[in-house]
Amino acid sequence: MKKLGSLCLALLLAFGLMVSQAHAAKYELKIQTALTSSSIYMRTLERFKANVEKLSNGELTVELLAAGAIVKPFEIYGAVSENLVNGGMAWTHYNSGLNPAGTLFSAPCGGIGYGLDQASVMSWIFEGEGGKLLNEYYQVACKQDIVAWAVLPMGPEAFGWFHKTYKSLAEINKLKFRCPPGVPAEIFKEMGMPAVSMGGPDIIPAAQKGVIDAAEWIAPAEDIAMGFDQIWKHLYLQGLHQALSIGDIVINKTWFESLPPNLRAVLEICLKVCVVDQNNDNIKRHSEALRKLVQSGVTLDETPAEYYGAFMKATRTVFGKYAKKDAFFKKVMDSEIAWAKLTVPFQMRANGLYYRLGKTAMDEGLITDYKK
């Protein structure tokens, strides 16, 4: 009897080991991000991780790495292509050193000069040519072993922070303004604004020394964490340099294609869910941050109306120069312009409806700018 009990125990232990091994992770996706661990966008990636691990029944695990953990942010795409790390998260324009068309996917400034909004670009990605062109960008134009998904809509980013209210573009164009490097800076300069590019950690010291008069970063929830409201008290929400801002998640193509079909499907489904998670989180977090800013004394100013036309015109000029030099840039730009011609008439009216709804509620005193 004792021997039988020992045999049963051994069988149970063996069975338990087999079950444990069956559910043990077989694959690991390490995602090197361009985000700090405190970034609000890490929340969406953490949900992605949880979804993948649950739906794969633990066969596929995800590790999220903060900026600089393995490589620097601008090195992420090269590292994923070389399989130094098999996953990454950044913005396609970080790859613009290899091909300038990257900006057309992650930050098509000024709605590419034709009025595209962020929802329409996401539609272009999933229902138009955008997703195919995005992967052609990495795999053909940049010759990288990468598959990519644009699934983290982060816009619109604010115009920026200023010391006072400005009524005209001519006044604003006299300011030394911190903006992102690359194409946005080119557009501001084309528009006549003396833009200055610098990294995030350098912005506050530069403002304190008078090197810059005004600055942009991202949007209320991230800006408040940077302490911009301690320097400036006027926030202009309506900006065009990154009114459309979309982050990528990329995976080494060879590694991805080695996965079983069911795990590839799990990843694709969970990546698409990121779009919904990010949109929902943006509204909540930026609204909460904006309320805190206004209640602490920050003034919300309206961007001068003439800024829109000037910026969009400058965008068409700068993008047109790139299109003449690079055939792939032109191919992507033409596809987006065609999508704009399809979607802008509808989106303009639909978005106008929501604007009117909100403005009517505010005009009637039902909603305030967080002041009461």
Chain position carrying tokens 């995030």: 200
Which percentage of the chain shows pLDDT scores above 70? 93
Short-list 328, 304, 305, 308, CA closest to 316: 308
The answer to whether residue 22 scores a pLDDT higher than 50 is no
Quick one: pLDDT band at residue 18, thresholds 50, 70, 90? very low
Quick one: pLDDT band at residue 36, thresholds 50, 70, 90? confident
The answer to whether residue 323 scores a pLDDT higher than 90 is yes
Q: What is the pLDDT, as a whole number, of residue 87? A: 98
Contact 159, 216 (CB under 8 A): yes
Q: What is the mean pLDDT of residues 217-246?
A: 93
Q: What is the pLDDT, as a whole number, of residue 2? A: 45
Q: What is the pLDDT, as a whole number, of residue 372? A: 62
Q: What is the pLDDT, as a whole number, of residue 68? A: 92
Answer whether 0.85 is exceeded by the pTM: yes
Looking at every residue in the chain, the average pLDDT score rounds to 91
The answer to whether residue 19 scores a pLDDT higher than 50 is no
Other CB atoms within 10 Å distance of the CB of residue 260:
13
The answer to whether residue 5 scores a pLDDT higher than 60 is no
Quick one: pLDDT band at residue 38, thresholds 50, 70, 90? confident
Q: What is the pLDDT, as a whole number, of residue 194? A: 86
C-alpha 300/C-alpha 295 separation (Å) is: 11
Q: How do residues 280-318 score in pLDDT, each as one tens digit?
A: 999 999 999 999 999 999 999 999 999 999 999 999 999
Quick one: pLDDT band at residue 225, thresholds 50, 70, 90? confident
Q: What is the pLDDT, as a whole number, of residue 14? A: 44
Q: Is 248 helix (H, G, I), strand (E, B) or coil?
A: strand
Q: What is the pLDDT, as a whole number, of residue 12? A: 40
Report the range of poorest mean pLDDT among 15-24, 66-75, 267-276: 15-24
Burial class (CB in 10 A: 0-12, 13-18, 19+), 49: middle
Short-list 345, 323, 299, CA closest to 112: 323
Contact 107, 91 (CB under 8 A): yes
C-alpha 236/C-alpha 223 separation (Å) is: 12
Q: What is the pLDDT, as a whole number, of residue 88? A: 98
Higher pLDDT: 200 or 29? It is: 29
Q: How do residues 197-224 score in pLDDT, each as one tens digit?
A: 887 888 999 999 999 999 999 899 989 9
Q: What is the pLDDT, as a whole number, of residue 11? A: 42
Q: What is the pLDDT, as a whole number, of residue 23? A: 55
Burial class (CB in 10 A: 0-12, 13-18, 19+), 13: exposed
Q: What is the mean pLDDT of residues 21-25?
A: 57
